Structure 1
Amino acid sequence: MSKSKNQLMNRLKFMLGTAFGILFVLIPFNFNGTVDTILFYYLKLFIAKFDGILQLILVMLIILSALLSLIDQLKPDTMIRKQRLMAKLFSTTPFYVVNRILGAIIAIMVYFQVGPEFLFSADTGGAMLSLATQLSVIVPMMLLFQTFILEFGAMEFLGEFIGVIVRPLFKTSEICATSILSAWVGPGNAAIMGTRELFEKGYFTMKEMAIIGTQFATGSIGWIVVVSSVLGVVDQLGWIILILALVSIIVAFVSVRIPPISKYPETYIEGKETTQVVEQTGSAWNRAVTNASNRAGDVSLKNFTSKIDNMTFYVLWLTPIIVCWGTIALIVALYTPILAFISLPIQWILQLFNVADASQAASAIMSGFADNYLPVILASNIASVETRMIVAIMSIMPIIYLSETATLLTSTKAVPKFLDVVLIFIQRTFIALPFVVILVKMIL
């Protein structure tokens, strides 16, 4: 094939592959009154139809994960450590083995409805197993299909234009631009896993991986709609998305300039200076098209099959821990006075701005550290529309919660210390809250 024909094919590959990814994964449509992306809408239909069998399969996989990791701990010379993928999935530390065993026990008790009710009830273990079942389908599929967005040249193309904004605002390289966008629009879980994968390929530094994972891996557009609908503020959806976007920029601008993120090393994997070089000659448009086309030209079936590692990692490595930590966090939030005590500073800020039902709203907001659906549950009976709108936004804004993203951030090493995860949650919550309250009051 001649060079010109090859360039044309690469450009078509870039345009068609990226267009399909954006259309299928990112753009929300109205499906008979339900707003969601094509991928998520049909995945949710699939989950709703086969929920029972999917939940049983997940329980069996959680048990398998716990058993194999326990065997690996007790007998290190088995085939588990000799096979690359099995070693990655099942060879871990005693701490995580215990977490997997607890996750398996909880999953069994929830599925068969045995044991203390506070553990398997619909508000605690039941909620977590149901959520884990949905995510065990949605996140792996997102990891697979976002290949069209992230690896068909869109990163290189948009980086030339949006990159001029992300570098001064968020202290990241231009090539992070598309990952920032997809992390904000798509599921945070998949964004963190995808960012880790791109870090391993040499696209991002350790600091950039942390910035994307902790500042932009928010709930998807579909999730924002769900939260708004349950809290009865879906008629304000446009304003909610606008406030989320604006305040997210402000919070990220501040957060990347203060510890702990400001202290993270700006090094690539294995200490390399960089493993991805982007062409810098010619006009921005020509560079964007050339780099994107070259990137698309390198795409093969391997780009998709290589996702099997992270897809199985999410289901077999992380899901047992998500069930374990998420259930414990929900029990603490719902059955102990700890939440009311730690939410007092939030309550004082809300009272300062004369927000109605400040105590209940504060508890709801702080409960988001356990799980991002808890604020919705705890605030659903608040009378004030203004307060419910604030809680809706603040349930999404902090990004970090124990049941999912906190586990992902620490286990993928996007954030190396759990204490840093807690600190980043607190920072994002306290930086965002005054801006959210002021903007909501201006609108309503």
Structure 2
Amino acid sequence: MTTSNKKLMNTLKFILGTTFGILFVLIPFNFSGTVDTILFYYLKVFIHSFDWLLQPILVLLIILSALLSLIDQLKPGTFIGKQRLMAKLFSTTPFYVVNRILGAIIAVMVYFKMGPEFLISADTGGAMLSLATQLSIIVPMMLLFQTFILEFGAMEFLGEFIGVIVRPLFKTSEICATSILSAWVGPGNAAIMGTKELFEQGYFTMKEMAIIGTQFATGSIGWIVVVSSVLGVVDQLGWIILGLAIVSVIVAFIGVRIPPISKYPDTYVEGKKVTQEVVKEGSAWNRAVTNASNRAGELTFKNFLNKIDNMSFYVLWLTPIIVSWGTIALIVALFTPILGWISLPVQWILQLFNVPEASQAASAILSGFADNYLPVILASNIASVETRMIVAIMSIMPIIYLSETATLLTSTKAVPKFLDVLIIFIQRTIISLPFVIIFVKLVL
């Protein structure tokens, strides 16, 4: 194949692969009144059709994860620790072994409906097992299909244009631009896993991984629609998305400049940055297309096979932790008065801006640390449209919640300490709330 033909093939590979990824993974369409991306919509149809089979399979996998990690802990040096993927999935610390066992116990109790109501109810353990079942399909598939967006040259292409913006605004390299967009538009959990993978490949520094995971890994467009619909403010969806975009930029601009993120090392994995041949001559468009085409030309089927590690990591490593932590968090939020106590500062801010039903809204907003659907549940009876719109935006803004993303951030080492996860949640909540309130009052 001549050089010109090779360049043409690489360019077509970049255009077709990236276009398919954007249309299939990122762009929302209307499916008979349901707004969602193609991938998300059909995954949800699949889950709905086969939930009766998927849930018991997941329970068995959670039990398997707990048993194998316990065996490895009690008897090191078995086949588990000698095989690379097995070691990655099941060789862990005593703390996480205990959490996996707890997750397995909760999953079994919920599935067979035996145990105290506060543990197995549809609002606690039942909600978490159902959520975990959905995510065990959605997140691995998102990780697989995001390959079309992240590895067919789109990162290099957009880096030439958006990169000049993300560096001064968010203190990240130009190559982070596509991951920032993908994290903001797509599912946050998949974005965190995808960012971890790119960090391990040497594309991002530790600080950049933390910035993308804590400042941009929001709920998907589909999730924003769900939240807006349940809270009865779907007619304000355009304003809600605009508000999220504006306030997200403001909060991220501030968040990357204060501890703990500002203190994270700006170093690559094992101190090595990925090496790429980058064209620097010519117009920005020429550089963007050439660099993107070169990247697409390097891609093989192995890029897709490499996703098996993180796909299995999510299901077997993280799902038991999500079930255990999420259930505990929901129990604390719904069955104790702790939430009312800790939400007082948020209530005072709401009252300062004369937001109606401030007490109920404050509890709803702070409950988001436990699970991002809790604010929707707790605010569903609020009468004020203004307040429901504020809660809708604030249920997505903080990004971090115990039932999933907090677990992902700590286990992937995007955020090394759990205390940092808590601090970042508080920072994003307190910084964003006044801006969200002002925005909602202006548009309404």
Question: What aligned pairs does 1:264-413 form with structure 2 within 5 A after superposition?
Answer: 264-276=264-276, 278-413=278-413
Question: Please, what TM-score do these two structures have when normalized by structure 1?
Answer: 0.99
Which residue number corresponds to residue 35 of structure 1?
35
Q: Deviations over 1:232-279 (max 9, x none)?
A: 000000000000000000000000000000111110010125544533
User: Displacement of 1:283 after TM fit?
Assistant: 1.8
Percentage identity across paired residues of the two chains: 86
Asked if the contact 2:201/2:274 (under 8 Å) is kept, the reply is: no
User: Displacement of 1:282 after TM fit?
Assistant: 2.2
Which residue number corresponds to residue 202 of structure 2?
202
Asked if the contact 1:164/1:174 (under 8 Å) is kept, the reply is: yes
> Unpaired segments of 5 or more residues in structure 2?
none
Residue type matched to 2:328 in 1?
A: I
Which residue number corresponds to residue 243 of structure 1?
243
**Separation in structure 2 between the aligned mates of residue 277 and residue 214 of structure 1, nearest angstrom:** 30
**Separation in structure 1 between the aligned mates of residue 442 and residue 224 of structure 2, nearest angstrom:** 21
Secondary structure of the equivalent of 1:30?
strand
Question: What aligned pairs does 1:71-220 form with structure 2 within 5 A after superposition?
Answer: 71-220=71-220
Q: Deviations over 1:254-309 (max 9, x none)?
A: 00000000111110010125544533222211111111000000111100010000
Which residue number corresponds to residue 434 of structure 1?
434
Secondary structure of the equivalent of 1:368?
helix
Residue type matched to 2:293 in 1?
A: S
**Separation in structure 2 between the aligned mates of residue 393 and residue 189 of structure 1, nearest angstrom:** 18
- The number of residue pairs the alignment matches comes to 444
**Separation in structure 2 between the aligned mates of residue 29 and residue 391 of structure 1, nearest angstrom:** 25
**Separation in structure 2 between the aligned mates of residue 269 and residue 78 of structure 1, nearest angstrom:** 28
Asked if the contact 2:203/2:273 (under 8 Å) is kept, the reply is: no
Q: Deviations over 1:315-341 (max 9, x none)?
A: 000000000000000000000011000
**Separation in structure 2 between the aligned mates of residue 274 and residue 299 of structure 1, nearest angstrom:** 15
Question: What aligned pairs does 1:222-241 form with structure 2 within 5 A after superposition?
Answer: 222-241=222-241
Asked if the contact 1:203/1:276 (under 8 Å) is kept, the reply is: no
Secondary structure of the equivalent of 1:396?
coil
Secondary structure of the equivalent of 1:50?
helix
Residue type matched to 2:338 in 1?
A: I
**Separation in structure 2 between the aligned mates of residue 52 and residue 431 of structure 1, nearest angstrom:** 43
Residue type matched to 2:59 in 1?
A: V
Question: What aligned pairs does 1:59-74 form with structure 2 within 5 A after superposition?
Answer: 59-74=59-74
Which residue number corresponds to residue 15 of structure 1?
15
Secondary structure of the equivalent of 1:427?
helix
**Separation in structure 2 between the aligned mates of residue 16 and residue 297 of structure 1, nearest angstrom:** 13
Question: Residues 60 and 411 (structure 1 numbering): CA distance in 2 closer, same or farther, change over 3 Å?
Answer: same
**Separation in structure 2 between the aligned mates of residue 378 and residue 52 of structure 1, nearest angstrom:** 28
Q: Deviations over 1:130-153 (max 9, x none)?
A: 000000000000000000000000
Asked if the contact 2:13/2:297 (under 8 Å) is kept, the reply is: yes
1:260 partnered with 2:260 = yes
1:46 partnered with 2:43 = no
Secondary structure of the equivalent of 1:382?
coil
**Separation in structure 2 between the aligned mates of residue 189 and residue 158 of structure 1, nearest angstrom:** 22
Q: Deviations over 1:79-113 (max 9, x none)?
A: 00010000000000000000000000000000000
**Separation in structure 1 between the aligned mates of residue 421 and residue 171 of structure 2, nearest angstrom:** 20
Secondary structure of the equivalent of 1:65?
helix
Secondary structure of the equivalent of 1:29?
strand
Asked if the contact 1:118/1:331 (under 8 Å) is kept, the reply is: yes
Secondary structure of the equivalent of 1:229?
helix
**Separation in structure 2 between the aligned mates of residue 275 and residue 324 of structure 1, nearest angstrom:** 40
Residue type matched to 2:4 in 1?
A: S
Asked if the contact 1:26/1:185 (under 8 Å) is kept, the reply is: yes
Question: Please, what TM-score do these two structures have when normalized by structure 2?
Answer: 0.99
**Separation in structure 2 between the aligned mates of residue 185 and residue 126 of structure 1, nearest angstrom:** 28
**Separation in structure 2 between the aligned mates of residue 253 and residue 278 of structure 1, nearest angstrom:** 28
Residue type matched to 1:249 in 2?
A: V
Q: Deviations over 1:397-443 (max 9, x none)?
A: 00000000000000000001110000000000000000000110111
CA RMSD of aligned residues (A): 0.7
**Separation in structure 2 between the aligned mates of residue 411 and residue 38 of structure 1, nearest angstrom:** 29
> Unpaired segments of 5 or more residues in structure 1?
none
Asked if the contact 2:195/2:209 (under 8 Å) is kept, the reply is: yes
Residue type matched to 1:260 in 2?
A: P
Q: Deviations over 1:202-261 (max 9, x none)?
A: 110110000000000000000000000000000000000000000000000000000000
Question: Residues 278 and 410 (structure 1 numbering): CA distance in 2 closer, same or farther, change over 3 Å?
Answer: farther
Which residue number corresponds to residue 3 of structure 1?
3
**Separation in structure 1 between the aligned mates of residue 206 and residue 313 of structure 2, nearest angstrom:** 20
Residue type matched to 2:202 in 1?
A: G
Please say which of residues 421-430 and 272-281 is displaced more in the overlay.
272-281
Asked if the contact 1:201/1:275 (under 8 Å) is kept, the reply is: no
**Separation in structure 2 between the aligned mates of residue 101 and residue 287 of structure 1, nearest angstrom:** 52
User: Displacement of 1:77 after TM fit?
Assistant: 1.8
**Separation in structure 1 between the aligned mates of residue 273 and residue 249 of structure 2, nearest angstrom:** 28
